[in-house]
């Protein structure tokens, strides 16, 4: 006799939490995420169906496989996953668990999900993130992104937090998490940049303007024929 596990029939889809790396397509027209462990080879969008990472034809999640999306019940548990060095640039996702799922002590393994919110951590320098910038690695056709403040963009491919949300679509909300407060003229010394979307957009535009001005200055030093002064 085979033991059958009880089936749940919730009145509304469960909520879970996970971490993932934000991704941007090479042509800049698509934004999504990729997992930090087993499913890292398969980027996914805001609304997505799981498939078996081993290429098997069964439906995910299968009881005899570890395929499917994974999440935990508790936000604090998911935040703890951001502590290892290799996960510091990942973002925290709040997801809606859809379709078939298997419940475990700490979370779910499931067939379909909708990412509702993405919380972006601070820049590597500790400042509140204003954008997501090229992290220096990726997947075929996809660039991995990492949180960045306006001062650390350095001409890298980047997208503002609001811009990432627009590209991802499906009502995704992207917010900047806590970081070091930055004093700005006209604002109090404890004002945190990056939390309001308009502030993040303005900081990103200013960083790009500074970069272009630096490039123009270099061209001016070279002269009309490309030769440097001297």
CA–CA distance from 177 to each of 84, 120, 153 (Å)? 18, 5, 18
In angstroms, rounded to a whole number, what is the distance separating the alpha carbons of residues 19 and 92? Answer: 5
Q: What's residue 218's pLDDT?
A: 72
Distance of CA 68 to the CA centre of its chain: 19
Q: What pairs with residue 143 in β-bridges?
A: 24, 138
pLDDT at 199 over 90: no
Lowest mean pLDDT among 34-43, 99-108, 117-126: 34-43
Going by pLDDT thresholds of 50, 70 and 90, the confidence category of residue 191 is: very low
CA 7/CA 17 separation, integer angstroms: 22
SS (H, E, C) 103-123: ECCCEEEEEEEEEEEEEECCC
37-79 pLDDT tens trace: 877 888 999 999 998 877 777 888 888 888 899 999 999 999 9
**Token duo for residue 7:** 């089936």
Given this model, what pLDDT does residue 62 score?
85
State the number of CA atoms in the 13 A half-sphere of 134 facing the CB: 12
| Position 225 pLDDT exceeds 90 | no
Report pTM. 0.76
Average the pLDDT over each of 33-42, 113-122, 129-138, 172-181 and give the range with the smallest value.
172-181
Q: Does the structure show a pLDDT above 60 at 104?
A: yes
Smallest CA-to-CA distance from 39 within 79, 80, 76, 67 is with: 67
pLDDT band at 21 (very low <50, low <70, confident <90, very high): very high
Question: What letter does residue 227 receive in the DSSP assignment?
Answer: P
CA gap 192, 189 in Å, rounded: 9
How far apart are alpha carbons 230 and 21 in whole angstroms?
47
pLDDT confidence bin for 189, thresholds 50/70/90 = very low
> pLDDT tens digit string along 142-183?
999 999 999 999 889 999 999 999 999 999 999 999 865 444
């Amino acid at each position: 006799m085979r033991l059958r596990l009880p089936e749940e029939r919730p009145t509304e889809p469960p909520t879970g939490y996970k971490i993932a790396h934000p991704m941007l397509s090479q042509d800049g027209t698509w934004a999504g995420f990729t997992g930090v462990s087993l499913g890292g080879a398969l980027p996914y969008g805001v609304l997505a169906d799981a498939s078996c990472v081993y290429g098997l034809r069964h439906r995910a999640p299968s009881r005899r496989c570890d395929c499917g999306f994974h999440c935990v019940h508790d936000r604090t548990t998911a935040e703890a996953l951001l502590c290892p060095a290799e996960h510091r640039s990942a973002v925290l996702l709040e997801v809606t668990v859809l379709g078939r799922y298997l419940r475990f002590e700490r979370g779910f393994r499931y067939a379909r999900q909708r990412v509702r919110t993405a919380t972006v951590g601070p820049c590597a320098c500790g400042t509140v993130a204003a954008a997501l910038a090229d992290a220096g690695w990726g997947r075929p056709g996809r660039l991995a992104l990492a949180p960045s403040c306006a001062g650390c963009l350095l001409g890298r491919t980047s997208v503002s937090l609001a811009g990432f949300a627009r590209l991802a679509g499906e009502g995704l909300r992207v917010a900047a998490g806590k970081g070091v407060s930055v004093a700005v003229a006209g604002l109090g010394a404890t004002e945190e940049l990056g939390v309001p979307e308009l502030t993040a957009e303005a900081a990103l535009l200013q960083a790009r303007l500074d970069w272009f001005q630096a490039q123009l200055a270099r061209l001016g030093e070279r002269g009309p024929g490309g030769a440097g002064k001297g």
